[in-house]
Amino acid sequence: MAKEAIGSNATFTGPQQGLTILGKHCYAYSGEYSVDNTETFLLNFQSAGKRYIMANVSLGSNSAENEDYRFQIYFNGQEVFGGVFNNQGLHSIGTWPIPIMIPPATEVKISLQNIADTDSRAWSVHIVGEVYNL
């Protein structure tokens, strides 16, 4: 379930796989994960029961290797967004924000996989959004 942050609990304590809600806003910062040719889950959380979220998802990497990656977003175990992109040998910071609507009481998982080779590269994903009551 999403962690509600109010008052002193609102202080950022570090990256995690969960979602933090601050009033009507929310965020999730995975931190760096080593991504190779196996599907790696960078975020994994449950949205709040009577709220939905309008958010943007972005990826980042400090890798400058030219490799293909498969990116997937799952809601309750079902893929709702997926794509293959090429890092093109550039640092991919803030890669193409993806607008999403996360329904109430939904398990959200976001994964990345190197499909070009078996090399491991550092990647992170983040979500920033607004929370709405039903």
What does the pLDDT read at residue 10?
63
Which residue's structure tokens are 């965020």? 27
SS3 letters across 11-52: CCCCCCCCCEEECCEEEEECCCEEECCCCEEEEEEECCCCEE
Mean of the per-residue pLDDT values for the chain?
A: 87
Q: What is the DSSP letter of 80?
A: E
Question: Quick check: 1 pLDDT over 90?
Answer: no
pLDDT digits (tens, 9 = 90+) for 28-84: 999 999 999 999 999 999 998 999 999 999 988 877 678 888 999 999 999 999 988
**Whole-model pTM over 0.85:** yes
What does the pLDDT read at residue 68?
87
**For a pLDDT cut of 90, what percent of the chain falls above it?**
63
HSE-up of residue 100 (Cα within 13 Å, Cβ side): 24
- Tell me which of 10-14, 90-94, 104-108 is least confident: 90-94
Which residue's structure tokens are 């799952």? 74
**For a pLDDT cut of 70, what percent of the chain falls above it?**
85
d(CA 97, CA 83): 13
d(CA 7, CA 75): 30
What does the pLDDT read at residue 18?
92
Residue 20 CA: distances (Å) to CA of 47, 117, 134 = 10, 34, 19
